[in-house]
Amino acid sequence: MTLALVFPTIDPVLIQIGPIAIRWYALAYVVGLVLGWRFIRHLARGRLPGLSARDADDLLIWCTLGVVLGGRLGYVLFYQPSYFFSHPGEIPLVWQGGMSFHGGLVGVVIAAVVFARVRHLAVLVVSDALACAVPIGLFFGRIANFINGELYGRASEAPWAMVFPGGGPAPRHPSQLYEAVLEGLVLFALLTMLVYRTRLGQRPGRLTGVFLIGYAVVRAIGELFREPDAFLGFIVSGVTMGQVLSLPMLALGLYLMLRHQAQTSAKTKT
């Protein structure tokens, strides 16, 4: 008989006063956005030329809208389009769960581009700032997924496997925690090190490229342990939707890095 850790049952609702409920999931978004904003504000003091503290303040509002709208619409379109098209009234019910990181990323990209145009800033300078802050939100988001007992991993005999509510009797990988470490802590540490110990922050687009490549790689790794959504399953031959959606990110990240490398080589030759 395989031993398994006991899942620490935590009420998804942190505080409830009458009909008003504050959920861990919502708190994770708020904390991630606020800490990300503070970090960008810090980087604007010289680490990322071309961006001011005031720009960081206004960018928070734009990115909040991009994350929420993009994340929800991405989940609707990428994961359960037929269900939500049949139940359109449930699309705005974000508090019931169902957000897509890739959709949120698209929403933030659109918000960042429009913000940069309105404020007459370089788009890649704005995207570099966001790239450094996004792992903070990812970390808290994955912790919230764990608290909710959702997005659990595949069946496993690992000594740290857990039996998740709704996941059947089989012990499973706590894949949310794996992703919190990889997508959150590892990417944040990598980007922070590059900002403080290299000159990549002085080359617009490089930090964005590193984030895109890094996320695509760690998400692909995390998907090897995560149970595919029951309503979606594997796309083909063990490939998941998360891995498929990471491919465009990998391609764009490589393009940004190679583009800057080509520009550097051209300047050197001249």
Alpha helices, DSSP H, located in 44-161? 53-78, 81-86, 101-119, 123-148
> Per the confidence metrics, is the pTM higher than 0.95?
no
Phi, psi of 236 (to 5 degrees): -165, 135
Structure tokens at 46: 């010289």
Helix (H/G/I), strand (E/B), else coil: 85: helix
Instruction: Kindly tell me if the per-residue pLDDT of 176 is higher than 90.
Output: yes
User: What's the pLDDT score for residue 238?
Assistant: 86
* pLDDT tens-digit map of 208-236: 999 999 999 999 999 999 998 776 788 88
* pLDDT tens-digit map of 51-97: 888 899 999 889 888 888 888 888 888 778 888 888 788 787 766 66
Q: Which residue has the higher pLDDT, 113 or 263?
A: 113
**What span, in angstroms and rounded, lies between the C-alpha atoms of 129 and 61?**
15
All structural domains of the chain with their residue ranges: 13-269
- 172 with 227: CB under 8 angstroms? yes
Report the amino acid identity of residue 46: G
| Residue reference for tokens 């300078």 | 125
